[in-house]
Structure 1
Amino acid sequence: MRNVFFIFIGGGLGSTLRYAISYFFAKNQGNQFPWATFVANGLGCLVIGLLFGYFQKNNVQNDSLKLFLTVGFCGGFTTFSALSLENFQFIQNQHYNLATIYTTTSLVIGLLAVYAGFKLSN
């Protein structure tokens, strides 16, 4: 239950930062390219990569800290970072086919689900 609390707090912080980025770009960029999403995804991937590398290099065993920062904060900030980390781990373990399948199916299923949801709502 303690880990759920850490994920909850981290997710709230990540989501709040994601909102702040969206707010900033909405005020300063207009409605052209989706810069807020692009920046959040890039930053989220950078942060989760830094954390993953740090945890591995320093053999960090604190599961609560890992969950707070990765599942909570990065997950609240952008789930794209989790997808990217999982694919990186596939590549790191030389599971290239799984990385390709996971990336492709995630994108295709995601687009189809958005389309289905849109159609169902009309």
Structure 2
Amino acid sequence: MLVGITFLLIFQLFGEVIAYYLHGLVPGPVIGMALIFGALTASKRTPIGKLMQPTVSTSHALLANFGALFVPAGVGIIQHLDLLAERGLTLFVTISVSTVATLIVTVWCYLAIKRLIGGTSHG
């Protein structure tokens, strides 16, 4: 697990460095995640792929305990209930609009990619 966490942190560091030079255009963790995805995909059958295999099991363990990462957010909400009561409607509208916008953009991207690859369906 230590090797897996080390790889995850190294790739996040690379992502942060790239994000720094891109002036924050894309967040570092997103870049790091794309880099590690590319490395794992490209190196399935190489010695590097075997070296990076602990990253997969570490990722599964982290995702299995993902709920614990929301505890600090829940505590923050409870600590700021007065702010939530004061600006709750604004937050609700903002979150609702951004969620709908995200869904629309996601569907649009899906349809655009589906058209680019020929519209074949595997399912």
TM-score (normalizing by structure 2): 0.36
TM-score (normalizing by structure 1): 0.36
Tell me: higher relative CO, structure 1 or 2? Use CA pairs within 8 A at least 6 residues apart: 1
